[in-house]
Chains A and B, each alone.
Chain A
Amino acid sequence: GNSVTQMEGPVTLSEEAFLTINCTYTATGYPSLFWYVQYPGEGLQLLLKATKADDKGSNKGFEATYRKETTSFHLEKGSVQVSDSAVYFCVTKGGNTPLVFGKGTRLSVIA
């Protein structure tokens, strides 16, 4: 079945630092890929998505590109803010399979 491996946390960065959270996946066929975010005390929400190879998802300054050749979907942001502190989940979904979540990466941004 599908699986996702993402960078172990926690990650602590200073404000305005560059962020990369690595994510690789295994799947049959051509899955859709997502990053979900869970802010402190809030529910899970979609951050960005890509549904086919070479697609770039972007939102709130975050970006991730669907790389079929490396089976990766790394999350990046050029300049993080304190308000980006959250847990980030890389997620894959293919065909009739359920959403498969990575273990999550906790990001803390300090001023």
Chain B
Amino acid sequence: GAGVSQSPSNKVTEKGKDVELRCDPISGHTALYWYRQRLGQGLEFLIYFQGNSAPDKSGLPSDRFSAERTGESVSTLTIQRTQQEDSAVYLCASSLYGEKATEAFFGQGTRLTVV
């Protein structure tokens, strides 16, 4: 596609339910990032898939959070047993992978509201 696509754009879920967020990166981009942005705050790093290397999961806030990526395509971020503090916009970005990073392109985000 022309850009990074995320779905759904909005998700309202009840506390305790599991949610899955999807990211379709730009074709050919081997690097993929997930970030979280709480209202009025900066971007909080969650996870980074970098080509064929092991993903950098150092930003995942708890074991309720996990992410998968199949090859160089779609990634899903799963939040189990959601809590109200998980409410945020979840942003995905993709880029080429290399020593001198090129531009990372961001999707429009998924706004998650836990009620």
A interface residues with partner B (beta carbon < 8 Å): 32, 34, 43-46, 49, 51, 89, 93, 95-104
Contact = CB atoms under 8 A, between A and B. Distances in A.
Interface in B44-60: 45, 48, 50, 53, 56, 59
The 8 lowest CB-CB distance pairs between A and B, nearest first, are A98-B48, A103-B42, A44-B106, A101-B43, A93-B101, A104-B42, A46-B103, A43-B108
- Main SS at interface, chain B: loop
B99 interface: yes
Contacts of B107: 43
Nearest to A103: B42
A96 B48 CA distance: 10
22 contacts: A32-B100, A43-B91, A43-B107, A43-B108, A43-B109, A44-B93, A45-B106, A46-B103, A89-B43, A93-B101, A95-B99, A96-B53, A97-B56, A98-B33, A98-B45, A98-B48, A99-B104, A100-B45, A101-B35, A101-B42, A101-B43, A104-B41
B100 A99 contact: no
Interface of B: 33, 35, 41-43, 45, 48, 50, 53, 56, 59, 91, 93, 99-101, 103-104, 106-109
A100 B43 CA distance: 8
Contacts of A101: 35, 42-43, 45
Q: Counting chain A CB atoms within 10 Å of each CB, which of B42, B100, B101 scores highest?
A: B101
A44 B107 CA distance: 8
A46 to B, nearest CB: 5
Nearest to B51: A96
